[in-house]
Chain A
């Protein structure tokens, strides 16, 4: 289908973008890479009166390694972040998880911040941000910026703490801690589909932070003590997320995946290569 008609605006600064958002109220939508929004517009699931394209804002195009985090500006595509030379060393979880986001072709245009803004409960980037305890930076038309922790930012299916006149300017992924290990696993119908269950883990000597995507209405991250046998903790986690049946999988299957993949992930599971092979399916 074709989108319903809308005005198209391309501001050249953040301030102008926020001003336009404020002016138009609920009638406006921002567009970044368009890899989620254009499908929604084409199917007329949304019919905004104004589309505000952030592609013309020059100073959003940066990846910066700072003291304790990697900052990714709203102009950066998923492909560009994946190609960032120090990624596997700076934020190893991203290097493992990002190849699972859609396809080569969608990553060429889809942005990192757009995925965070969209807040799909099965999406990989929100899961990584929540598991690592990262932050979202938002700016309003007065040029005021605020930072929100991932756990407060994601509030439900496609629902976030972003206010109507705010632009996400940057997301911050904490840098890898020495001694910690980072692991990611996902099960989807086919590679490139949204996850049925995705798990991300940060493994320290005495504890495990386990993030789960695709089950609750948002990515959920929990700390588990690093017992010899994590089965009980994983079972409790699996039951706590309110899994539901849908077209892709039953709730029982999702709980089982959390238990099985969780155990594998914590134990060290199959290598990345086996993982890569499995996803060719």
Chain B
């Protein structure tokens, strides 16, 4: 592939389960492409140099900073943003836990933090507080602080663990 600097390139990716396309210049950051071209403004942009984590999205499942990625690099990838979380039944379990534990105020940092927490919870079923704090160290929250977030993540980890009943038991329950 060779794209000229002034060329607008068609980029197609899977955003929250749906195929979407739009146009981007080589230098267009992924966060700007999502917001301005695809209209997915749930993802926020803070520092634009990788420090604050506000722009975090999942790229093929991995929490990544969308200000440190080009739109053209997302071609063909699976992207998940904060818009993927709430379903028809309302807020997701993690979003509800954030509300319950007062883990946000202005919410500017929250969209990115939720995406990191989702990947983390997929990978670490039974996390320690230290592990949660380590994962959150990749995000800056300037108005709420982290205690509520830590509690929300631990809370969700616990309820998700309890909900995953081993197969044999599940059968018995069904009977």
Contacts and interface: CB of A to CB of B under 8 A. Distances in A.
Interface of A: 1-10, 34-35, 38-39, 41-43, 49, 51, 53, 55-56, 79, 99, 102-106, 108-109, 190-192, 276-277, 280
Interface string B19-42: 000000111010010000000000
A192 B65 CA distance: 15
A2 B133 contact: no
A91 to B, nearest CB: 21
Contacts of B64: 105, 108-109
Which of B2, B27, B56, B139 has the most chain A CB atoms inside 10 A of its CB?
Answer: B27
Given A5-B25, A79-B62, A105-B116, A39 B1 contact: no
Given A42-B48, A106-B65, A6 B138 contact: no
Which of A34, A53, A55 has the most chain B CB atoms inside 10 A of its CB?
Answer: A34
Nearest to B26: A8
Contact of A105 (B32, B63, B133): B63
Given A7-B3, A105-B56, 8 more contacts: A2-B27, A9-B2, A10-B2, A35-B50, A35-B65, A42-B48, A55-B73, A105-B116
B70 interface: yes
Contacts of A109: 59, 62, 64-65, 68-69
A5 B24 CA distance: 12
6 contacts: A2-B27, A7-B3, A8-B3, A38-B68, A104-B135, A106-B68
A103 B136 CA distance: 9
A190 B140 CA distance: 12
B3 A42 contact: no
Nearest to B5: A5
A38 B1 contact: no
B147 interface: no
Contact of B49 (A9, A43, A104): A43
Contact of A106 (B5, B25, B50, B72): B50
A2 to B, nearest CB: 7
A106 B72 CA distance: 19
A6 B68 contact: no
A90 to B, nearest CB: 22
B120 interface: yes
Given A4-B27, A38-B67, A191-B134, A104 B2 contact: no
B137 interface: yes
6 nearest A-B residue pairs (beta carbon): A103-B138, A8-B26, A38-B68, A5-B5, A39-B49, A108-B62
A104 B27 contact: no
A4 B134 CA distance: 34
A8 B4 CA distance: 7
A51 to B, nearest CB: 7
Contacts of A7: 2-5, 26
